[in-house]
């Protein structure tokens, strides 16, 4: 009867475990899958260390490599599965992205535009290849 008890314990333990959160966190390149406004961040290049997020952002019409163009950056925090990020153009806040990591490669949230960019908000969905 011992093998049956061992199997029952193993099955019960497996049933009680919760799915693991995505191990990669947010580090990587994220591409906009869905959004409606022209100035939405098209690509997020994120680095996550512990609960801190940093990185750069690609926005149409802004080339951070060109002389005279401001750096577009992201900074924020992450506590699985929730992320809170500020997007900056130079030193000015462009908006705030509050998102949830739905799966290892799928990020969904609401981007709230700063008043300088017309205000309002939009749901943005990003994928990581």
pLDDT in tens, 79-124: 999 999 999 988 889 999 999 999 999 999 999 999 988 899 999 9
pLDDT averaged over every residue in the chain: 79
Q: Does 4 have pLDDT greater than 50?
A: no
- Chain position carrying tokens 């500020």: 86
Please report whether residue 8 resides in a domain. Answer: no
Question: Is 61 within a domain?
Answer: yes
Residue 114 included in any domain: yes
Range of the structural domain that residue 90 is part of? 23-127
Domain-embedded: residue 7: no
CA distances from 29 to 14, 25, 107, 119 (A): 33, 12, 11, 26
What is the per-residue pLDDT across 52-84, written as a single tens digit (0 to 9) for each? 999 998 876 665 556 666 678 999 999 999 999
Residue 115 lies in a domain: yes
Q: What is the pLDDT of residue 35?
A: 74
- How many domains does the structure of the chain reveal? 1
CATH number at residue 33: 2.40.128.30
Question: Cβ distance 35 to 124 under 8 Å?
Answer: yes
pTM, to two decimals: 0.74
User: In the predicted model, is pLDDT for residue 20 greater than 60?
Assistant: no
Give the Å distances, CA to CA, from 49 to 15, 24, 54, 98, 101.
31, 11, 9, 18, 16
pLDDT at 13 over 80: no
11 in a structural domain:
no
In a domain, 44, yes or no: yes
Instruction: Look at residue 3 and tell me if it is in a domain.
Output: no
């Amino acid at each position: 009867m011992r093998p049956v008890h061992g199997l029952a314990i193993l099955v019960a333990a497996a049933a009680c475990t919760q799915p693991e959160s995505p191990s990669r966190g947010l580090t990587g390149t994220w591409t906009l899958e869905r959004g409606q406004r022209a100035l939405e961040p098209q690509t997020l290049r994120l680095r996550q260390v512990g609960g801190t997020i940093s990185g750069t952002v690609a926005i149409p019409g802004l080339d951070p490599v060109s002389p005279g163009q401001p750096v577009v950056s992201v900074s924020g925090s992450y506590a699985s599965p929730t992320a809170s990020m500020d997007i900056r153009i130079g030193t000015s806040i462009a908006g705030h992205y509050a998102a949830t990591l739905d799966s290892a490669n799928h990020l969904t949230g609401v981007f709230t535009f700063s008043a300088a960019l017309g205000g309002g908000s939009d749901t943005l969905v990003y994928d990581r290849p």
